[in-house]
């Protein structure tokens, strides 16, 4: 029922704007409005904070179905979970009440600020600092590759509070867009997901109350990594949706396109490509849904399974979207057809929330 609901919403309220959002590199406001009006913009927020209380699998299905028509739009529910999960996992009751309510209502979005210009895969090498000043912390630094930056009201920011302790000297904070000293760089000019703004976040003597620290001092990096165990599965879901959208479009196209006097779908070479695409998507779906169930239960092997789902599903998304372009031939290579956009959008799923090379390191260190 959830899938039917979100698919109907995605096809009627999000899909019609997907090409324009990509072409104009603009935020998909129509998608945000549609998701908020249906209480689907942050479904993961627990009921006690005004949210829908959706479990990890239901959240995955929402992201998958939105990504099937517009990858940029699927980053609204996905990044709302990424940005707010540190608060849910480690934040005080006061922080949860203050920030999760507006997120659930759709009054605010939540971004995640971990990466920096010189700290990408080596996130523990960050330079952003937070210095205690009485009942406040003062933050200085630059965060890069921040999804939905400038649109989101709230940011989970990781900063060094004790430079002598490397990862154990990093703490997490909630920073608000309206805090004095917060500003944003120009939107990055990207290959795909052009409707989701990616910008630098500048922190210039940003003074915030001490109670905005998420968890204890020095636990920020551990919270960041624990968050990614859960949210890599949302990227797997996004990749899965992009791949499914490409297969669905290609399947319809080959039944209509005629060459040599018959639909190209009648040729075995085409049938085998479609069969492989469908088989690989289904394998990715099973891995992703199983990982979502493990996320919900908090299973011991979640780190491996989350990395495996993200890595496998994103590799499959790149492969399937490339094949979809091939199936459309010259038409697939033009912007008049959506598979070109889907192929560009798929690429980022192999890169963000940890490159697939990093996922393989994570898996190797956590072999079941």
**Is position 353 annotated as part of the catalytic site?**
yes
The whole-angstrom separation of Cα 116 and Cα 103 is 25
Least Cα distance to 315 among 274, 350, 364, 352 occurs for 350
> How far is the CA of 158 from the CAs of 50, 124, 161, 214, 229, in angstroms?
26, 10, 9, 10, 17
| Cβ pair 214, 94 in contact under 8 A | no
CB neighbour list of residue 180: distance below 8 Å, 6 or more residues apart: 206, 207
- Reported in sequence order, the residue ranges of the chain that DSSP labels E, i.e. its strands, are 110-113, 129-133, 136-147, 154-160, 170-176, 182-184, 198-209, 213-214, 258-259, 262-263
User: Which has the closest alpha carbon to 36: 54, 18, 58, 9?
Assistant: 9
Measured distance CA(281)–CA(207) in Å, rounded? 47
> Rounded to the nearest 5 degrees, what angle is found at the Cα of 351, between the Cα atoms of 140 and 214?
40
Q: Which tokens go with 39? A: 């209480």
Neighbours of 248 (CB within 10 A): 13
3-state SS of 93-157? HHHHHHHHHHHHHCCCCEEEECCECCECCCHHHCCCEEEEECCEEEEEEEEEEEECCCCCCEEEE
What's the rounded Cα separation, in Å, for the pair 298 and 354? 20
In angstroms, the CA 56 to CA 44 distance is 7
3-state DSSP assignment of residue 176? strand
203, 141 Cβ separation under 8 angstroms? yes
Active site residues: 353
């Amino acid at each position: 029922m959830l899938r039917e609901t979100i698919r109907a919403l995605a096809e009627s309220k999000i899909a019609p704007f997907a090409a324009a959002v990509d072409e104009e590199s603009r935020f998909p406001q129509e998608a945000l409005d549609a998701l908020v009006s249906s209480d689907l913009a942050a479904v993961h927020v627990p009921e006690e904070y005004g949210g829908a209380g959706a479990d990890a699998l239901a959240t995955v299905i929402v992201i998958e179905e939105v990504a099937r028509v517009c990858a940029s739009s699927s980053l609204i529910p996905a990044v709302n979970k990424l940005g707010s999960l540190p608060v849910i996992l480690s934040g005080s009751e006061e922080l949860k009440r203050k920030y999760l309510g507006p997120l659930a209502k759709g009054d605010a979005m939540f971004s995640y600020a971990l990466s920096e210009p010189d700290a990408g895969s080596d996130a523990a090498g960050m330079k952003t600092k937070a210095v205690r000043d009485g009942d406040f912390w003062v933050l200085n630094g630059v965060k890069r590759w921040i999804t939905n930056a400038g649109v989101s009201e709230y940011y989970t920011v990781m900063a060094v509070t004790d430079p002598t302790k490397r990862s154990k000297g990093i703490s997490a904070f909630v920073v608000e867009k309206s805090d004095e000293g917060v500003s944003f760089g120009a939107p990055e000019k990207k290959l795909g997901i052009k409707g989701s703004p990616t910008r630098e976040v500048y922190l210039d003597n940003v003074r915030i109350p001490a109670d905005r620290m998420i968890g204890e001092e020095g636990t920020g990096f551990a919270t960041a990594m624990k968050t990614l165990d859960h949210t890599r599965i949302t990227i797997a879901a996004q990749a899965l949706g992009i791949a499914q959208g490409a297969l669905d479009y290609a399947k319809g196209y080959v039944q209509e396109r005629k060459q040599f006097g018959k639909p190209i779908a009648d040729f075995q070479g085409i049938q085998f490509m479609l069969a492989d695409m469908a088989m690989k998507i289904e394998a990715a779906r099973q891995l992703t849904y199983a990982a979502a169930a493990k996320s919900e239960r908090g299973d011991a092997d979640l780190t491996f399974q989350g990395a495996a789902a993200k890595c496998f599903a994103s590799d499959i998304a790149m492969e399937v979207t490339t094949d979809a372009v091939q199936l459309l031939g010259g038409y697939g290579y033009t912007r008049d057809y959506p598979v070109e956009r889907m192929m560009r959008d798929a690429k980022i799923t192999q890169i963000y929330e940890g490159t697939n090379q990093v996922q393989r390191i994570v898996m190797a260190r956590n072999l079941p």
